[in-house]
Amino acid sequence: MNSESLRKEYNKNLIKITNYYSELAQNLKIFKGYQYLKEKERNVGLNTIQKKIVNDELKGFELGGIGLPKNKRESFKLIKSNLSKLSSQFEENILDSINEFSLYTESKIEVEGVPEEVLNKARMLAKENNKKGWLFTLDVPSYIPLMQYAKNRKLREDMYRAYATKASELSNKKLDNGPCINEILLLKQKLASLLSYENYAEMSLVTKMANSSNEVIKFLNKLAKKAKPHAKKDMKDLNEIAKKFKIDNIEAWDIAYLSEIIKEKKFNFSDLEIKNYFPKPKVLNGLFKLVNKIYGVKILKKNADVWHKDVEFYEIYDNNNQSIGHFYLDLYARKNKRGGAWMDDARARFKFDDMHSTPIAFLTCNFSGPSRGKPAYFTHDEVITLFHEFGHGLHHLLTEIDNYSVSGIKNVEWDAVELPSQFMENFCWEWSVIRDMTEHVDTKKTMPKSLFNKMIAAKNFQSGMQTLRQVEFALFDILLHSSKYDPKSKNFLDLLEKVRNDIAVVRPPKWNRFPHSFSHIFAGGYAAGYYSYKWAEVLSADVYSLFEEKGVFSRTIGKKFRREVLARGGSRSALKSFVAFRGRKPKIDALLIHSGLNS
């Protein structure tokens, strides 16, 4: 929820909280306490987890500016405070820009091809605004299907232009995130310089698995090299189909539409057909059943105070019926709600003397809600997103660590934190999982195996283009925060164009302002870390390959994964947890096979 009154209070308290943590990171008394514990004679009495906590905390103090002279410590805190304000402003500009835009039409010809369900919601929205016809917004459930199915090229172009220029000088100068980006980059460089790092990427990677930005760049370029031939083939297919629609030059707003046509022609099904099989109750039931099968845990819905009527609350029990955690589930898009999907912790597990608590997680998505008395129906991509966020939730909820600072998702290296989430996505391609969570909107029948087989055949459809897209974003991010970019130049758009020159086969128009809504790195925790998605995908594919070897529902392997990865949280390095599970260091082979990029 991001109403005007809540936003005002949020921003007022954001500064207090930021200052509190900045002061905590520079508290000499606590710092000296950890130094005392680090000394040899005291260190002997600590267990392995406690030793890691001490080392992590000391590293955190160093990155918080504890070693700086007093005047520079104050500068450091001021920069942190300003970065918090700018990140909040960045997110608000995006939300306000989305809320500001709507596209209205009464022409049936203009909306030809758009799914009836999307039109129904657009009609309801128009009615709420005292209009006839249809009203479309930039919310994902409205935008994506329109780009996929609208036959009217001008309509797609108008929607794309609004989406691609949101929060920029091309949509509303008052909501332009360009100045925010420049200021954020300058301040992050100043932070790094104060701590004697060459750049922000070098500072950021201190707490990650990757050792240097060069290692990250090398990893991403290797992936790009594998993906590019496949991406060129994908683009060739698009050009061929475009000719049939008398499109001489494919534009960015044609990609999703033409891709859907190719997909329907090649595999004989559409995303819309698939969506008719995934009602929310069946999907949740199938997800909970899977988790019970692999990990032996049970999930039950409970009553609780919530912030919106659509939010639900669940309790998770171990196989001995002991409550081990709770989570809130907030699935649907709505006005004034932040876009995207994410998991966050509301409370961590810990025990200290006679105090103890169980973990609580937030699981948030932006799917289409229920309509006309029917439950919400999800696309397969939305099912994958739900499984992804639930994987993060399980990482937090199934922890067995009682030390607060390394319990659940806390202090897990950023480039490994996506392992449990991406691991869960694999089950969305298993017939016995899919079968149990499907029921057709009209016939109430389970999805036929023949349709599922078509989905499997299309699994790696355009995986070359999709991989390059992720690599493009990740390279832009790591270069932006490394010595290869001077934040004083303010030419981040030029840097993105250079990356595209090397990587992309799909070139958006020059007026595309993707960075202006790149919340992951400018308003989230992924600065110099967006590569984590691909890095962790190597880990997750390798983990899942053992399930494939031993049986995808193997309780034995499930227990081992829970014990060695999920339960461990940040109590040891992610690499040690991976090796404890897999018996060796990670290999990229499984990812290439799963993505169809091994040839």
Continuous segment of H or E residues that includes residue 242: helix 213-244
| Structural tokens at position 396 | 């937090």
Whether residue 436 contacts residue 289, with contact meaning beta carbons closer than 8 Å, is answered with yes
Is 488 buried (19+), middle (13-18) or exposed (0-12) by CB count in 10 A?
Answer: exposed
Pick from 578, 566, 550, 542: which is nearest to 295 by CA?
A: 566
Pick from 470, 471, 518, 478: which is nearest to 495 by CA?
A: 478
Q: What angle do CA 272, 383, 340 make, to 5 degrees?
A: 100
Per the DSSP assignment, residues forming a β-bridge with 301 are 314
Q: What angle do CA 454, 460, 464 make, to 5 degrees?
A: 150
Q: Is 157 a catalytic residue?
A: no
SS3 call for 31 = helix
Per the DSSP assignment, residues forming a β-bridge with 367 are 332
Catalytic residue, candidates 183, 260, 389, 413: 389
Distances in Å between the Cα of 456 and the Cα atoms of 258, 272, 385 are 20, 16, 17
Whether residue 412 contacts residue 570, with contact meaning beta carbons closer than 8 Å, is answered with yes
**CA-CA distance, 269 to 595, in Å (whole number)?**
20
CB atoms within 10 A of CB 501: 9
Taking phi first (over 0 means left), then psi (-120 to 50 degrees means alpha), and beta for anything else, what does residue 481 get? alpha
**CA-CA distance, 88 to 166, in Å (whole number)?**
16
Q: Which string of DSSP letters, residue by residue, matches 341-389?
A: -EEEEEE--EEETTEEE--EEEEEEEE---BTTB--B--HHHHHHHHHH
Return all residues near 372 (Cβ < 8 A) that are at least 6 apart: 120
Count how many Cα atoms sit within 13 Å of the Cα of residue 73 in the half-sphere of its side chain.
17
Whether residue 487 contacts residue 457, with contact meaning beta carbons closer than 8 Å, is answered with no
Whether residue 159 contacts residue 98, with contact meaning beta carbons closer than 8 Å, is answered with no
**CA-CA distance, 570 to 564, in Å (whole number)?**
11
**Whose structure tokens read 């600072």?**
405
SS3 call for 361 = strand
Q: What angle do CA 287, 292, 298 make, to 5 degrees?
A: 95
| Structural tokens at position 338 | 């932040």
Continuous segment of H or E residues that includes residue 536: helix 532-550
**Whose structure tokens read 């809130």?**
328
Tell me the catalytic residues. 389
